[in-house]
Amino acid sequence: MPQQVRGVIARAKGAPTELVTINIPDPGPGEAVVAIKACGVCHTDLHYREGGIGDDYPYLLGHEAAGIVESVGDGVTDLEPGDYVILNWRAVCGSCRACKRGRPWYCFATFNADQKMTLEDGTELSPALGIGAFADKTLVAAGQCTKVDPDARPAAAGLLGCGIMAGLGAAINTGGVSRGDSVAVIGCGGVGSAAIAGARLAGASKIIAIDVDDRKLEGAKQLGATDVINSRNADPVEAVQGLTGGFGADVVIDAVGRPETWKQAFYARDLAGTVVLVGVPTPEMQLELPLLDVFGRGGSLKSSWYGDCLPERDFPMLIDLYLQGRLPLDSFVSEEIGIDGVDQAFETMAAGQVLRSVVVMEG
């Protein structure tokens, strides 16, 4: 039986969000209905509201979520009602060129549910990143559900569904940080702080946190930064060189995504080091750089989407590390809010006051 639940939608560009009743169809072949337990508030949700991603309004917002599988459609064999899952926005297909060449994190075909959730009047909803989890329940493709240890509390577990995974993976997967490396992270919001936690987990010996906000640098120390630089007061390139014997860091992660921070990353790395761009630039941003400097420096220049993660490989492993006390996911949960608090959380986020606000569903 199709059911009616509450959901947070963006009805029109720039308009405040609304908590409304939505229709969830029964899961079709390859689909699942998931009862949401918690869902983090991410910049991307705000971008949807503001029209920065598309104009397929109304959007059903929310995409960093953990929940319990309620029902599954035909042909779903690896998931059953009662399973505790983290939702992901990149279920890989296994058969495209990227998948076949062993780089499934570049998979061309991402799986979402075929059926549509709707408003009460039948208007089709566009779920944010194919998820839509600021809701009591949502409909997804079964491949978007990854089973993890149910002992992990939902507010922390759900964060692996987007921004925190992006930061952890930028360090561990894309940057390939390994034991003894020196790492610098520019921008210590949720994503950059997660990169710091990832660098620590990977055994980095020096982790240099760079931000323009002392509150963020304080938080970075708690997560394992060994040194902090406020780039309003000091040249971050010189400071990183000074802290690394003049060489620069082995891996530098730009979690801001502006031409000036990327250049800092480029010059703050060791000659053979790696730059990872994880912050998302805007379309008009241009980069100007002496080509000779690119030539004269080896190493690699990379970008990282979703931490180059493979949910089935990475989520259960990271949740195990969390439960062992080795990955401080709780530190990223700045506040827990109700489903009616999303717009307020967008303001708190824009003011730089939190790493993550997390909507926790009652009951």
Ligand X SMILES: NC(=O)c1ccc[n+]([C@@H]2O[C@H](COP(=O)([O-])OP(=O)(O)OC[C@H]3O[C@@H](n4cnc5c(N)ncnc54)[C@H](O)[C@@H]3O)[C@@H](O)[C@H]2O)c1
Which residues contact ligand X by CB under 6 A?
A: 43, 162-163, 166, 186-192, 210-213, 216, 231, 255-257, 261, 278-280, 304-306, 352
71 or 173: CB nearest Zn ion: 173
- Return d(Cα 271, Cα 279) in angstroms, integer: 22
Out of Zn ion, ligand X, none, what residue 241 binds, judged by CB under 5 to 8 A for its kind, is none
- Return d(Cα 251, Cα 223) in angstroms, integer: 18
**Token pair belonging to 306:** 């979703």
46 or 141: CB nearest ligand X: 46
73 or 189: CB nearest ligand X: 189
190 or 248: CB nearest ligand X: 190
Out of Zn ion, ligand X, none, what residue 200 binds, judged by CB under 5 to 8 A for its kind, is none
- Under a CB-based contact definition with an 8 Å cutoff, are residues 196 and 251 in contact? no
Q: In what order do the strands lie in the sheet with 269-277?
A: 227-230, 206-211, 182-186, 249-254, 269-277, 300-303
**Cβ of residue 305: shortest distance to ligand X, in angstroms?**
5
Query: Residue 295 to residues 125, 248, 289, 290: CA-CA distances in angstroms?
Result: 49, 17, 11, 9
**Cβ of residue 301: shortest distance to Zn ion, in angstroms?**
24
**Cβ of residue 41: shortest distance to ligand X, in angstroms?**
10
**Cβ of residue 48: shortest distance to Zn ion, in angstroms?**
10
Summarize as ranges the residues that interact with Zn ion (CB under 5 A). 42, 44, 92-93, 96, 99, 107, 162-163
Question: What are the residues facing 126 on neighbouring strands?
Answer: 59
114 or 214: CB nearest ligand X: 214
**Cβ of residue 176: shortest distance to ligand X, in angstroms?**
16
**Token pair belonging to 31:** 């689909």
Q: Phi and psi (nearest 5°) for 35?
A: -80, 120
